[in-house]
Amino acid sequence: MRIRKKPWAENEFNTNKNYIKEPENFKGKWKNFFKNENPIHIEIGCGKGQFISEISKLNKNINYIAIERQDMVIASALKKSREKNVGENLAFFSANVEDLKDFFIEGEIARIYINFCDPWPNKKKWAKRRITHRNFLKIYGEIFGEKGEIHFKTDNRILFEFSLNEFAEQNDWKMKNISLDLHNSDFKENIMTEYEEKFSSKGMPIFRLEADYKKV
């Protein structure tokens, strides 16, 4: 879906200190960008930025990078981060998930968050577009290097079941902390996205899992 252009977006791109126009220039150099040796976590598909802004404020000893393919969505996330007065441990850039290796070298990323991605509901036709498909898991493993982890949330049961199977069928992934109803579980560290707040308020269950990667 095409997002309507926002009149204030260009100014946000030009003035927001957390926006990176040419992220490929920092491939292998992100620790220089953040000016520290802290681990780097990324969110794929940051939406309007609530989750990544909140988690970056709670964990100053971790560097965060939010990635979104649509510029106007990134603009909204940038605005959110500025309004929340986030620190220097958060960066944003626009990119497609299949291009991650253009921006990160092996071993540069420690964790990936995937929150409420497009479920691509037609399994036979669109399965390979789902960003928990094994083709994408291979990309994530390559930027993790020896080890890493994914934290995944969705409200779509079909996508969640698909993702469980994809992780289970790969020798270098091991799942843990699987929840079929996150908000009625004993998990205490959840940070909600805007989308999650909307749908959980209607009583819809939220599915969550963590998957550890270890290079085989």
**Chain segment 146-155, per-residue pLDDT in tens:** 999 999 999 9
4, two tokens: 């309507």
Nearest Cα residue to 152 out of 172, 134, 178, 173: 178
Mean pLDDT for all residues in the chain: 94
Candidates 3.30.1330.100, 3.40.50.150, 3.90.1170.50, 2.40.10.500; CATH matching 40-214: 3.40.50.150
pLDDT at position 70: 92
Check residues 2 and 8 and name the one with the higher pLDDT: 8
Element (H, E) at 91: strand 90-94
CA–CA separation, 118 vs 165, rounded Å?
Answer: 17
The catalytic position among 71, 118, 172, 212 is: 118
Residue 71: active-site member: no
70: helix, coil or strand? coil
Confidence of residue 123 (pLDDT cuts 50, 70, 90): low
Confidence of residue 1 (pLDDT cuts 50, 70, 90): very low
CA–CA separation, 214 vs 216, rounded Å?
Answer: 6
4 burial type by CB count under 10 A (0-12 exposed, 13-18 middle, 19+ buried): exposed
168 burial type by CB count under 10 A (0-12 exposed, 13-18 middle, 19+ buried): exposed
Domain extent listing, the chain = 40-214
Is the separation of the CB atoms in 64 and 141 below 8 Å? no
CA–CA separation, 143 vs 22, rounded Å?
Answer: 19
Residue count of the chain, please give it: 216
With a cut of 70, say whether residue 204 has pLDDT above it. yes
Element (H, E) at 32: helix 30-34
